[in-house]
Amino acid sequence: MERRADAIAGTGPAGPTLGEAARDFLARGELDAATVRSYGQTLRRLCLTLGDRRPLASLTAGQVAGVFATAWDGAAARTWNRHRSAVRSFGSWARLGDLAAGLERRAETSSRAPALGPAQLDALWSHPDLPLRERTLWRLLYESGAGVKAVLSLNVEDLDLADRRAPAGGPGRRTWVSWRSGTARLLPGLLAGRTRGPVFLSDRRPGPGRTPAPADLCPQTGRRRLSYERAEYLFKEATRSLDPAGGGYTLGRLRPRPAERVPHMLSERA
């Protein structure tokens, strides 16, 4: 057994692996929490697809392009470009050259897709198997008109249930996300006695090699904050039957039309 173990150890990768390099890249003190979360989504997908034990030196632009074609080919231009930028930054830091060489930047448009109509919303709210987490998240997005990332960043200890609002964002850029009666009815059940940590949690606890930052971990359940990527995926899957094209919708389609919108976010300068 010892001889076999020595033989296996002897054939291990020389130099850092993709997983090790990704962790070192994200651990740099110069990155803020939002950047770590954004870059982490891209690198997590690379590690899952290509293997986190892959020798870093063997990573090529062609392999990265293959991951993009599988994971984000149908993504919006802004999402595609965000992941592309993350890969370029990682490749430059790791001295691997331009890992995005096979990825063309996509043109972004400023026009926003129309919000879901009343019939689509009724079908969504009346879905018989809709989990409480998704029901609450989607209602909150619809009633507040706030961005997805702002809502996912909410913490239990910051919720003002009486006034139906909570702060989102860091010092100097804080905004208030507010909601209405539909969300107010759902929140108590979702929180289920939790007093701290992210409002919206993932389904499972993170693996031993993927411990999130303390701010993204629930101290009572051990589960991490629900990721933007996962939240978008679940909404697309749930709305495929509502989309004539069959592709499903993005969470941004829950934001009400300007004529329907009520004041929802107030800026606060710290």
| Each residue's pLDDT tens digit, 125-162 | 988 889 999 999 999 999 999 999 899 999 999 999 99
Does the pLDDT at position 267 exceed 50?
no
Give percent above pLDDT 90 in the chain: 58
Query: For position 127, what pLDDT does the model report?
Result: 85
CA distances in angstroms from 154 to 126, 145, 150, 174, 216, listed in the order given? 25, 15, 7, 12, 10
CA distances from 122 to 137, 147, 219, 256 (A): 16, 21, 36, 14
How high is the pLDDT of residue 206? 83
With beta carbons less than 8 A apart as the criterion, state whether 102 and 67 touch.
Answer: no
Instruction: Give the full edge-to-edge strand order of the sheet including 165-168.
Output: 165-168, 174-178, 265-268
Is it the case that residue 190 has pLDDT exceeding 80? yes
Q: Answer yes or no: is pLDDT of 266 > 60.
A: no
Q: Is the pLDDT of residue 41 over 80?
A: yes
Q: What separation, in Å, do the N-terminal and C-terminal C-alpha atoms of the chain show?
A: 62
Phi first, then psi, for residue 219 (nearest 5°) are: -70, -15
Averaged confidence pLDDT in the chain: 86
Mean pLDDT of 153-178: 87
- CA dist 179 and 165 (Å) reads 6
Which H or E run includes 175? strand 174-178
Q: Which residue has the higher pLDDT, 233 or 6?
A: 233
Per the rule left: phi > 0, alpha: psi between -120 and 50, beta: everything else, 95 is left
